[in-house]
Amino acid sequence: MVRRVVIVGGGTAGWMTATYLQATLRDKVSITLVESDRVPTVGVGEATFSTIRGFFQTVGLAEQDWMPACNATYKLAIRFENWREPGHHFYHPFERLRVADGFTLAEWWQRYGGGERFDQECFLISALCDAKRSPRFLDGRLFEDAVPDGEEGPATLSEQVTQFPYAYHFDAALLAGHLMRLGTGRGVTRVVDDVLATRLDERGWISHVVTREHGDLHGDLFIDCTGFRGMLINQALGEPFVSYARELPNDRAVALRVPSDVEREGIRPYTTATAMDAGWIWTIPLYGRLGMGYVYASDHASPEEAERTLRDFAGPAARDLEANHIRMRIGRNRNSWVGNCVAIGLSSGFVEPLESTGIFFIQHGIEQLVKHFPAGGHDDGLRRDYNRLIARCMDGVREFLFFHYYGAARADTPYWKAAKTRDLPDGFAERLASFERRLPDTENIWPHYHGFEPYSWTSMLLGLGGLTPAPRPVLDLLEPAGARREFAELRRRAEWLAAELPSQYEYFTARH
Ligand SMILES: Cc1cc2nc3c(=O)[nH]c(=O)nc-3n(C[C@H](O)[C@H](O)[C@H](O)COP(=O)(O)OP(=O)(O)OC[C@H]3O[C@@H](n4cnc5c(N)ncnc54)[C@H](O)[C@@H]3O)c2cc1C
Ligand SMILES: N[C@H](Cc1c[nH]c2cc(Cl)ccc12)C(=O)O
């Protein structure tokens, strides 16, 4: 029977795992988390997917329970700046494409689009981002549930059916601390100590870990949340790591925590990814500071050049701040579950944070571990199923991020030129060829769950500008009246919401 769970590592992965397992398996398992106070956490990881709502709902945390304590703000989209050409921007929002007469507004836009910005004509959220609006009114109502006087209300579907329209930005260290207090308050045993060694039994499975001051920690299931080092799964069990370096060359980052005057500057309701000569810079707005970092390829920039570029970009506010240089291990384990050891977090796999997928991988790994939990004893089939879906999910994100560079119009530096000539990920050539004939749909994007739907691929394809697929010929035979009505209705609602909603600064200042 599997009843004793030992988690090694107390970063975002460790404490998300501990609190989620405790909330779902409750007293059916004992959970011990051991974390070093000498080995630092990676110290970044501040923008998320909208699906993280499911994690907070499962562990029983409402927004007011954790957001103020973690300097959290709302994230409606990612704003991609200078990926097509200097001065150009577009959004990748949390918003599905509307459909008129069987075709998405993006397909109608290709044929009848008026402006240069498809995301402004096809998504409501673009206008809210440009106006720095909160997605909620001061009384807490979500913008989707509000309509202008005298108009019919929108269909209010369950969150399971709709694409929930926002995610979060938060201070990762504060969240891990908040989850630690929540978990220990609910019975998770926390051991602050260094794991010095991992001992294997005759099967080659983990029997216990040896700590510096608290003796041996025995368990039935060990969860490796030790970060990039993969102390249990890679170092002790020798599981091979599958590098994504061939497809995704960005292997370094340098980060700054920049104070911000939210009253003067406002709070952007989106993450910004600004394309640079040898990578891109993230700007994540928290309540009171900005998380900023330059993700780059060490083949195209040195750490000194990258830090200088980031400081210049951040401006005077970055003066005298300490920079955090990070080596990133890009790729995934061949298997994330080996014997009685499951890797979750950076120890399992990681790609650059361009689409905020790190914490999504953690949540996905934890949710699938519960679904495949070997309650009756370890089972090869459960482990095999788990490993296959984790690998497919990460490989799908690899393809999606590869497309961000391959599909970007800019080719003005060796770095961006190289992105166009890099070998395609296995199997992508056919999908890419189909994008010349039609926009991404359920039949021509990565065929396994990877967190993204066709509208995300469409947002990137039409935003990046490197590929210009032809409109569907059939649209020449169809009347566009229905689509024109949809475009007009969307524009009207966008203008009304941008005028009626509070700014994010107003919303959080009123709620803090
Ligand atoms: C540059 C960068 C930017 C990122 N941005 C985002 C983002 O915007 N959105 C997102 O979703 N994700 C992002 N991520 C990913 C995110 O940071 C991680 O997924 C998240 O922080 C989880 O890290 P972790 O807990 O796996 O590892 P870590 O944070 O490295 O924690 C490892 C833990 O293991 C412990 N440990 C290690 N060795 C021992 C030992 N011998 N004994 C005891 N304890 C030990 C450490 O003390 C620590 O507690 C980013 C990652 C990087 C590198
Ligand atoms: N599972 C989806 C993934 C997703 C959809 N739209 C976006 C936009 C951004 Cl900026 C990141 C991820 C996604 C979800 O999280 O809703």
Atom 53 (ligand 1): residue with closest C-alpha?
328
Is residue 482's pLDDT more than 80?
yes
Amino acid 156: pLDDT: 53
Indicate whether residue 357 lines ligand 2 (CB < 6 A): no
CA 451 – ligand 2 centroid, Å: 7
Give the relative orientation of helices 105-112 and 481-500 as an angle to the nearest 10 degrees: 110
Q: Which of 28, 75, 417, 420 is catalytic?
A: 75
- The rounded mean pLDDT for the chain is 95
Answer for the pair 113, 486: CB distance below 8 angstroms, yes or no.
no
What pLDDT band is residue 115 in, cutting at 50, 70 and 90? Answer: confident
Q: Residues 233-273: pLDDT tens digits?
A: 999 999 999 999 999 999 999 999 999 999 999 999 999 99
Span 292-299, mean pLDDT?
A: 98
Indicate whether residue 273 lines ligand 1 (CB < 6 A): no
Q: Residues 40-66: pLDDT tens digits?
A: 999 898 999 999 999 999 999 999 999
Answer for the pair 165, 50: CB distance below 8 angstroms, yes or no.
yes
Is residue 161's pLDDT more than 70?
no
At a CB cut-off of 8 Å and minimum separation 6, what does 89 contact? 79, 80, 81, 82
Q: Residues 350-382: pLDDT tens digits?
A: 999 999 999 999 999 999 999 999 999 989 999
Q: Residues 483-504: pLDDT tens digits?
A: 999 999 999 999 999 999 999 9
Indicate whether residue 456 lines ligand 2 (CB < 6 A): yes
Coarse DSSP helix, strand, coil percentages of the chain, rounded to the nearest 5 percent: 40, 20, 40
Rg of the chain in Å (alpha carbons):
23
Amino acid 155: pLDDT: 52
Span 89-115, mean pLDDT?
A: 94
CA 49 – ligand 2 centroid, Å: 5
75 a catalytic residue: yes
**Residue to mutate, 12, 179, 342, 364, ligand 1, most ligand atoms under 8 Å from C-beta:** 12
Atom 19 (ligand 1): residue with closest C-alpha?
358
d(CA 488, CA 369): 45
Query: Can you say whether the dihedral through the CA atoms of 13, 17, 23, 26 is positive or negative?
Result: negative
ipTM: 0.96
Nearest 5°: phi and psi at 288?
115, -15
At a CB cut-off of 8 Å and minimum separation 6, what does 400 contact? 355, 446, 450, 452, 456, 457, 460
Span 102-111, mean pLDDT?
A: 96
> Which tokens in the block code for residue 386?
């788990």
Indicate whether residue 77 lines ligand 2 (CB < 6 A): yes
Indicate whether residue 21 lines ligand 1 (CB < 6 A): no
Three-state DSSP at 163 gives coil
Share of the chain above pLDDT 70, in %: 97
Is residue 410's pLDDT more than 80?
yes
DSSP 8-state code for residue 13: H
Q: Residues 308-359: pLDDT tens digits?
A: 999 999 999 999 999 999 999 999 999 999 999 999 999 999 999 999 999 9
Amino acid 153: pLDDT: 64
Counting beta carbons within 10 angstroms of the beta carbon of residue 430, is it exposed (0 to 12), middle (13 to 18) or buried (19 or more)? exposed
Ligand 2: atom nearest CA of 95 is 6
Counting beta carbons within 10 angstroms of the beta carbon of residue 155, is it exposed (0 to 12), middle (13 to 18) or buried (19 or more)? exposed
> Which tokens in the block code for residue 175?
């969240």
**CB atoms < 10 A from the CB of 466, how many?**
20
d(CA 142, CA 164): 10
Amino acid 491: pLDDT: 94
Q: Are strands 221-224 and 341-343 parallel, antiparallel or unpaired?
A: parallel
Whether the model clears a pTM of 0.95, i.e. scores above it, the answer is yes
Amino acid 123: pLDDT: 96
Answer for the pair 73, 285: CB distance below 8 angstroms, yes or no.
yes
Answer for the pair 35, 14: CB distance below 8 angstroms, yes or no.
yes
Is residue 288's pLDDT more than 70?
yes
d(CA 235, CA 410): 41
Helix runs in 315-413, H state only: 358-371, 380-406
**Residue to mutate, 94, 364, 404, ligand 2, most ligand atoms under 8 Å from C-beta:** 94
- H-run or E-run covering 122: helix 118-122
Amino acid 365: pLDDT: 98
Is residue 474's pLDDT more than 90?
yes
Is residue 419's pLDDT more than 70?
yes
Helix runs in 302-375, H state only: 303-314, 358-371
Q: Cα–chain-centroid distance for residue 359? A: 6
Amino acid 243: pLDDT: 98
Is residue 13's pLDDT more than 80?
yes
